[in-house]
Structure 1
Amino acid sequence: MPGDATDAAGFVGESLRNLADDRRTTVEEREAEIVAELEGAIEDAREDIDAAVAAVDDAALYVSLARFADAYDLTRPAFVEDRETVAVRGARNLDLQAADVTVQPVDYAVGDHDLDVSSASAPPAGDRVAVLTGANSGGKTTLLETLCQVQLLAQMGLPVPAEAAEVGIVDVIVFHRRHASFNAGVLESTLQTVVPPLTDEGRTLMLVDEFEAITEPGSAADLLHGLVTLTVDEDALGVFVTHLADDLEPLPDEARTDGIFAEGLTPDLDLSVDYQPRFGTVGKSTPEFIVSRLVANADDRKERAGFETLATAVGQEAVQRTLADAKWSQN
């Protein structure tokens, strides 16, 4: 009797294992059939699927561009083919906007443009080159960057950070930043960078920041005047930031001088600047405003005395008047 029970248990166990194996095999076969059917269906619909994937990619791109344009209040630029220009009304720097600081929109242009700008700040039309001068920390480099952003975004087919913009396509954009030091090597490499795009075939936009920083002032003025002249002669466009405007006279007929002006210090001793350039006017560096702020903010007695020595050098009366104006505004 016990032997019969053992045989029965073994039989049941074996039967269950066989049944499980059969079911597992059936499931695997069915899975393979379903996979084959789905793969076949996908392959049959491959063209539609690829089109859907492409549509999703395009939609994602357009949505991203729309969000970018909406977040920064961008505008579609007007392209011109019959003349060379980069002209903006109400332009703003994207980096400043991203930093969430207050931005003063500016109007600016080089080249022959038809941009509709109020007469008070309308940029002249026809000047191929502008020499941009003005206050220390007055936004001259920021304006160069803004023009570069407008030109690059426009040529990428993207909207630009301005109320309105008129852009001609160029082949080369030369953006030269100010060097921290100068020597023969830096001068040579800089000239090798900025001159060939002017002499080569194609249209060029020159955006050059404080070229004089790479060599001594006398030679720098001569070289910069030559570079401005070369830009005009080669029918290129250019904006050159410099503190040597007086040394560049006389400029070529198709070049002008613009100025950005600091108006003083705020009650918090921040520099108050009108970032809208004044056309045909040489801007002043106004170092007395910077020195005034350093004098007012100096906590150490010796440090303050050092800054007061600088105040005497730039004009003690101007420094005292600046500090008095700031205090009066605060009261």
Structure 2
Amino acid sequence: MQFEDIPGVGPKTAAALEELDDAERALKDGDVAALSRSPEISDGRATAVARGVIRKRHNDDSNFLATRRAREIYQDVLALLRDRAITEYATKRLATLYPTASSTRIEEARAFVTAATTTEIPIDDTIQETLSGVEPLTTPTISRIRDRCIATSDPERYAKADDVFPEVSVEVVEDTRELAELARSYSTVIALDERFAGIDIEGDVQIHPDAIDTPNKIVPERVLQYFATNRDRILAAVKVHEQTNLDPPCSVSKLRDVLKKVDTDGTVVGDAELTRLTTAVADLDAAVSTAESVANDRLREAIQQRDVTIEGTDFLSLVEQGARVDSLFGRELNDEYDSAVAAAREHLIEAIELRPSEADFAERAFPTDPTFPVEHESSVISRLRTELTTARDRKAAQRKREVADELTTLQQPVQKLVRAVLELDVERAIAKFAHDFECTMPTFIDDTEIPDQTGNTNRDTPDTAADSPQSEINSSSEAKHITDSDGSLIRGFNISGGRSPLLDVEFSAVEAIDYRVSGVTLLSGVNSGGKTSTLDLVALIAILAHMGLPVPADNVRLERFSELHYYAKTQGTLDAGAFESTLRDFRELADGASNRLVLVDELESITEPGASAKIVAGILEALEDQSATAVFVSHLADEIREAADFSVAVDGIEAVGLEDGELIVNRSPIKGRLARSTPELIVEKLADSDGSESQFYHRLLQKF
């Protein structure tokens, strides 16, 4: 893969990707966590790169989120999804989901989501604790290995080996003599050249021409440390596999058994002979010291219990012959000395479990000639230490290779096993989102559903979700109608039972709304009646649908929009400069692509009401000409309709009354109705109880 071919990836990021071990796999899988392991790539950058790969795959150059408010709603969507992820991997991976106009990308995401929401994934807390222990596997850095080196006489091969084996010394040798010198300095020398085969060199010299292609055989510590470092993550992933219906790519019982052979520091455990040799080397000095004590304690006791008498003539004769006191000691206590030394040798053999082939060292470790106190022969013990250490290292190397061979065959399956669990968490988060917010998959209106000149469509199933009669829809062009002759949706959106999870109340308390729009529509309603919340819901559903995700509604049909333009309410009247900038934004909107969704919240607040109505009317005319779907929230619906050169549809969020000073509101917009204002409702309430002679409130009510 040419990294710079990815949209948004320049030379610096491409170079950082080159340094990653599994960049291509991470890019293909959207593994943001793996991409962000590079110190040169932040989480945000990694997400952008992963999206770039998706965009390249689908030839997707769309910019669906066209305004800041649209992007804010998208971030809210991501937050809802991420709150349901357990692993950091899933939290990052979910960010690769983005809204788009690309039909192939949407369908790809929908397929993934459908699999996630139809698979029996536990979305309760049963696997949450286990999932929290699963993380992407890491490749640990191996410390410098000083007991072996790699040798070659080929400079080119030297360069390759030096690159492949950074933890081992790589040396250039010219001849057998230099190879022999290395063998005296290292426990093991791995020669890469076949020309050294068959040469008799003292030391452990191994000929491995294929060493560069089989690095784990030369440095088994790599795979051992890999599994030691990732042990807890692997075992957590295994447990998740056992708790779910995931099919593991390897035998989990075999995996557990092999993992038991590696300690947390990467050393091989569980081999009796290696344990014996390791313990023998570690305990040798203490065992020798104790053996000396055993011998000396026995002799001391024997001496204390014996009365030794030497006649003067015998003593004089021994001295004249040059005998030492040891000789006198040996003559009198020879048997006791032999017994004491035998006990010392036996203790040494038993203490460090010497094999018969090693017991000879114990025999020679203590002098045969009587002496007191008994002391070991240091040269013999030194030799024994060397023998045990060499045997230990040889056995450790053998076991490392054997266990590493077993683990190497499991390395790729384990990576798949862990990635499957991490992806399960991504799916689980989506499934939990769909469950928590009672979501359903939306239906997109295909291009084939747009009527031909006769008004016929090739749609098989009519949309039965439309609630209002066609006569309520005001539009200037038949081709732009939301419905055809049977009342079915052909443009815009139709939301049935939609509930927004973005409101600051429990989701169960959110009132469901129905709303459908095509063409250009004004949305009227009382203050605090839910107009802005309705826009937020429409934006939320559009974003989720174009991400390929389920939406919080009973039923949704919508057009595949090219862009979402959502303009939030402006706080206060704009100054001249800001007003001009806003008009420039809408000029670009008017000149843009067709089939966009435009949501605008009280644009009239940008300037004086009279001018605002004319400006909004002009914008609506441009959007109508483009076949855009637009909802403009406004308190100036009458004024805008008067200023517009086409019949503008008006919907209303009705307040049906007042109770204890609080509005009673029907949150679902009513098609073709201008909502009554809060003042009108208050005047009406007062008029109902107005018994005055002047009928003041009745006269006020007639002004509305």
Compute the TM-score of the two structures, normalised by the length of structure 2: 0.36
Quote the RMSD (CA, aligned, Å).
3.3
CA shift at 1:242, angstroms?
0.4
**1:136 and 2:527 equivalent?**
yes
Q: Determine the structure 2 residue equivalent to 1:262.
A: 655
Residue of structure 2 aligned with 1:211, choices 603, 607, 610: 603
- Matching residue of 1:73: 438
Q: CA deviation at 1:100?
A: 3.9
* Within-5 A mapping of 1:16-165: 30-82=395-447, 83=450, 84-96=491-503, 99-100=506-507, 102-111=509-518, 128-165=519-556
Which stretch shows the higher mean deviation, 276-285 or 93-102?
93-102
Equivalent position SS for 2:571 = coil
Structure-2 separation of matches of 1:25 and 1:185 = 84
Cα distance in 2 for partners of 1:144, 1:192 equals: 23
User: Displacement, 1:52?
Assistant: 3.1
The answer to whether the 8 A contact 1:89-1:108 is kept is: yes
Give the letter aligned to residue 278 of structure 1: I
**What does residue 666 of structure 2 align with?**
274
Is the CA contact (8 Å cut-off) linking 2:499 and 2:512 kept in structure 1?
yes
Shift of 1:99: 3.6
Q: Is the 8 A contact 1:264 1:273 kept in 2?
A: yes
Q: Check conservation: 2:442, 2:551, Cα contact below 8 A.
A: yes
Query: SS where residue 553 of structure 2 aligns?
Result: coil
Task: Spell out, residue by residue over 1:175-231, the C-alpha distance to the aligned partner (whole angstroms, 9 max, x if none).
Answer: 100011222232223233343244223531100000011111111111111111111
Larger Rg: 2
**Identity of aligned pairs, percent?**
30
Equivalent position amino acid for 2:422 in 1:
D
Mapped to 1, the partners of 2:559 and 2:656 lie a distance apart of 34
Runs of at least 5 residues in structure 2 that lack an aligned partner in the other structure: 1-325, 330-369, 451-490, 691-704
Counterpart-to-counterpart distance in 2, 1:71 and 1:27: 59
SS of the residue 2:605 aligns to: helix
Q: Is contact 1:174–1:194 with CA below 8 Å preserved after alignment?
A: no
How far does the alpha carbon of each residue in 1:110-137 deviate from its partner, in whole angstroms, 9 at most, with x for none? Answer: 22xxxxxxxxxxxxxxxx1110001000
Partners of 2:685 and 2:431 lie apart in 1 by 53
Mapped contact 1:172–1:197 kept (Cα < 8 A): no
Aligned positions of 1:303-318 closer than 5 A: 317=686
Q: CA deviation at 1:285?
A: 2.5
Of 141-150 and 167-176, deviating more is: 167-176
Give the structure 1 partner of residue 582 of structure 2: 190
Q: Are 1:197 and 1:204, in contact at CA under 8 Å, matched by a contact in 2?
A: no
Find the aligned partners of 1:177 and 1:223 in 2 and give their Cα distance. 17
Structural mapping, 1:265-304, within 5 Å: 265-267=658-660, 269-287=661-679
1:233 match:
625
Cα deviation for residue 252 of structure 1 reads: 5.7
Tell me by how many angstroms 1:18 deviates.
7.0
Distance 1:142 1:319, change over 3 A: farther
Closer, same or farther: CA 156–12 of 1 in aligned 2, 3 Å: same
CA contact (8 A) 2:594 2:627 kept: no
Select between 143-152 and 48-57 the one with higher mean Cα deviation: 48-57
TM-score, normalising length from structure 1?
0.72
**Structure-1 residue corresponding to 2:636:** 244
Mapped partners of 2:625, 2:391: distance in 1: 84
Match of 1:121 in 2: none
Maintained 8 Å contact 2:590/2:619: no
Alpha carbons of structure 1 residues 42 and 152: separation in structure 2 relative to 1, 3 Å: farther
Residue pair 1:134, 1:283 contacting (<8 A) in 2 also? yes
Alpha-carbon distance between aligned partners in 2 of 1:205 and 1:22, rounded to the nearest angstrom: 82
1:127-181 deviations in whole A, cap 9, x for unaligned? x111000100000000000000110000101000110001222121001000112
CA positional deviation for 1:286: 0.7
Q: Secondary structure at the match of 1:282?
A: coil
Relative to 1, partners in 2 of residues 1:316 and 1:76: Cα closer, same or farther, differing over 3 Å? closer
One-letter code aligned to 2:625: D
How many angstroms apart in 2 are the aligned matches of 1:201 and 1:288?
40
Q: What is the SS of the residue equivalent to 1:108?
A: strand
- Structure 1 residue runs without a partner (length 5+): 112-127, 293-313, 322-331
Amino acid at match of 1:96: L
Shift of 1:85: 1.9
Measured against aligned partners, the alpha-carbon deviations of 1:72-128 in whole angstroms (never above 9, x if no partner) come to: 1000111112243221111111113864462221111122xxxxxxxxxxxxxxxx1
In structure 2, the CA distance between the partners of 1:34 and 1:94, relative to structure 1 (3 Å rule), is: farther
The number of aligned residues is 279
Query: For the Cα contact (< 8 Å) 1:288–1:318, is it kept in 2?
Result: no
- Partner residue, 1:173: 564
The answer to whether the 8 Å contact 2:442/2:556 transfers is: yes
Structure 2 vs 1, CA of residues 157 and 315 (structure 1 numbering), >3 Å: closer, same or farther?
closer
Q: Which residue of 2 aligns with 1:200?
A: 592
Structure 2 CA distance for aligned equivalents of residues 189 and 38 of structure 1: 69
SS at match of 1:94: coil
Which structure is richer in relative contact order (CA contacts within 8 A, separation 6 or more)? Answer: 1
Q: Which moved more, 1:34-43 or 1:144-153?
A: 34-43
